[in-house]
Amino acid sequence: MTSNQHVLDWVKEMEELMTPDKTIWIDGSEGQLRALREQAFATGELTELNQEELPGCVLHHTAKNDVARVEDRTFICTSNKADDCMMVNWMDPNEMKAKLLPLYKNVMAGRTMYVIPYCMGPIGSPFSKVGVEVTDSIYVVLNMDIMTRVGVKALRQLGDSNDFVRGQHARADIDPENRYIVQFPEDNAIWSINSGYGGNVLLGKKCFALRIASYQGYKEGWMAEHMLILGIEDPQGNVDYITAAFPSACGKTNLAMLIPPEVYAKQGYKVWTVGDDIAWMHIGDDGRLYAINPENGFFGVAPGTNEKSNPNALHTTMKGTIFTNVAHNLENNTVWWEGLDKNPPEDVQEWTGLAVDGKEYIANGGKLAHPNSRFTAPAANCPCLSKEFNNPNGVPVTAMVFGGRRAKTAPLVYQSFSWAHGVYVGSAMASETTAAAAGAVGVVRRDPMAMRPFFGYNVGDYFAHWLEMGKKLGDKAPKIFNVNWFRTDDEGHFIWPGFGDNMRVLMWILKRCKGEAEAVETAIGYEPKPEDIDITGLDGVTVDTIKGLLDVDKELWLEDVKGVEELYAQIGDHVPAELHAEAAALRERLSK
């Protein structure tokens, strides 16, 4: 399949280490992939679903001890001890390799090694990167085929270059005590062992696309961010693109696939999805920032996805999708999860594969589907997929948005005073724990740029890289905003309706970027005039409601600045002086 000696030598090294019975190179052909699906059906690794209702769809169950990313078993290993900051697990590379190499020795004896060449980003894009993953899991092969561009085309993209990410995955014994997901950014390498769950074993996902790529971007002058990319098309056909970063449980996929409310749909506005999770951003020839989605599919959380919350996502899963740890509806050989509808099937297997009599669920929390159950769906299925999805040059970014889940502190929307202030806003990102999470309610968890689990190097240096990118962009830099859909009233009810109505806020953001909307200068940034948020057709929301959503409680904000300063102290002396100055300036404005 390839004459690239760097790839051939590395694959040989993997064969000698893990000693598989045979090696199969994945060429990306439908015939080869179909044969692998049939093999997985025969062994029970996958279950073929109702092909009339869900053509090309299959079901998979992971081990009960292997259902999510494991942050405590995820490591960044670099020679720079300064990378050992409070947000990532760091270990010296030589120490980690000495620990892991015995686990990999002969681990594929009696098994088949699959070699998966894959491209992150559109084929032919100068911004795309290539990886090669070896694995002993057909499930991984089939997921990677959905999430990336797999096979011969990826090897063509690589050519004779040695610039590829080496990923080695082995299921081993699915032993949680010996489960490791390790990134070696300086070696362009990822090692994963003793897991079969997607987020730990689809090495193009967070491992490459964020942890390794953030380090590559730092070294090469671009950005790899945990951001969605969406386009808003006006009635004249002009499209503006927004990237946005949110911590988990803040509606990122829903925003990426937003359906315009009636007031905008009637005028002819449309929303297009470029990506729901990750953005790689480079400075283009015209000096503007351009974004590509390095992925080729969606690895989404199933529970809560339904015809009302996110119809575009639901429709995307209707063909060619791999469902993981959802319930199996035996009545018609389809799938079900909590929030899909209000009618759980009676003849059903819960996510562990055990039969349920319709009365007593065995799964944790009384759920048929695991709370972190997933769908892996091709982006091509998405009804609102942007025609620029495969544009090799990416799309120009007009605005960047940060957001979190804050009950009282953050207003509905505000704009940063400058790029440096915007970097401070991103670094201060946080969400409050909800009743659904273990522990106390309302505890603030800092999650800078929504990258907390995904930094590939020192967090302070990461902030400095953001500041440096802003200097390079100059007056062509995107404007930076913060949003909060989650303000609550005194009874704890959400005040803002959210979902498609979030477009009303995005429209003000775009007007600000074009100089078409005024703003009110506050201590924290520029806010809209309450009457400038279009509330046409919104029941129960008045201009006074918007005024309340924009209120800034200075005491709460002073407390927030204190929390950011504590975060900076934990990160250490790599935090840029500009961010300390931004925190001090905010404190001074609030104190006036």
For the domain made up of 298-381, give the CATH fold: Phosphoenolpyruvate Carboxykinase; domain 2 (2.170.8)
Residue with tokens 């600045």: 561
Check whether 333 is labelled as a binding-site residue. Answer: no
What's the residue count for the chain?
A: 592
Give the mean pLDDT of 211-232. 98
Check whether 373 is labelled as a binding-site residue. Answer: yes
Say what the pLDDT of residue 435 is: 46
Residue with tokens 């102290």: 569
Give the mean pLDDT of 217-221. 98
Say what the pLDDT of residue 437 is: 43
Check whether 253 is labelled as a binding-site residue. Answer: yes
DSSP 494-557: BSS--GGGGHHHHHHHHHHHTT-S--EE-SSSEE--GGGS--TT-TT--HHHHHHHT---HHHH
Q: Are 189 and 205 in contact (CB under 8 A)?
A: no
The SS3 call for residue 99 is helix
pLDDT at 331 over 50: yes
Residue closest to 46 by CA, chosen among 35, 33, 59, 36: 59
CA distance 269 to 308: 20
pLDDT at 535 over 80: yes
Residue with tokens 């995107």: 478
Residue closest to 450 by CA, chosen among 192, 185, 226: 226
Q: What whole-number percentage of the chain has pLDDT above 90?
A: 92
Return mean pLDDT, the chain: 95
Q: What is the pLDDT of residues 242-261, one digit of tens each?
A: 999 998 878 899 999 999 99
CA distance 198 to 215: 22
Contacts with 553 (C-beta within 8 Å, 6 or more apart), sequence order:
408, 409
Check whether 372 is labelled as a binding-site residue. Answer: yes
Q: Are 302 and 323 in contact (CB under 8 A)?
A: yes
CA distance 121 to 140: 19
Q: What is the pLDDT of residues 1-49, one digit of tens each?
A: 999 999 999 999 999 999 999 999 999 999 999 999 999 999 999 999 9
Neighbouring-strand partners of residue 245: 402
Say what the pLDDT of residue 215 is: 97
- Just give the CATH number of 225-296+387-591: 3.90.228.20
Same fold? 5-45+70-221, 225-296+387-591: no
Check whether 118 is labelled as a binding-site residue. Answer: no
pLDDT at 213 over 60: yes
Q: What is the DSSP letter of 321?
A: -
CA distance 48 to 38: 9
Residue closest to 251 by CA, chosen among 496, 466, 61: 496
Task: Write out the H or E segment, with its range, that includes residue 446.
Answer: strand 444-446
Check whether 374 is labelled as a binding-site residue. Answer: yes
Catalytic residues: 250
Say what the pLDDT of residue 357 is: 66
pLDDT at 528 over 80: yes
Say what the pLDDT of residue 438 is: 46
pLDDT at 132 over 80: yes
Check whether 199 is labelled as a binding-site residue. Answer: yes
Which of the following CATH numbers is that of domain 5-45+70-221: 3.40.449.10, 3.40.50.300, 3.10.20.30, 3.40.30.10? 3.40.449.10
Task: Give the domain ranges of the chain.
Answer: 5-45+70-221, 225-296+387-591, 298-381
Q: How confident is the model at residue 440 (pLDDT cuts 50, 70, 90)?
A: low
CA dist 380 → 295, 305, 318, 388 (Å): 11, 19, 12, 12
Q: In the numeric block, which tokens belong to residue 322?
A: 């791999």
Say what the pLDDT of residue 569 is: 96
Residue with tokens 């935090």: 575
pLDDT at 264 over 70: yes
Beta strand spans in 210-260 (E): 223-225, 228-233, 239-245
Q: What is the pLDDT of residues 345-394, one digit of tens each?
A: 989 999 999 888 655 555 445 789 999 999 999 999 999 999 999 999 99
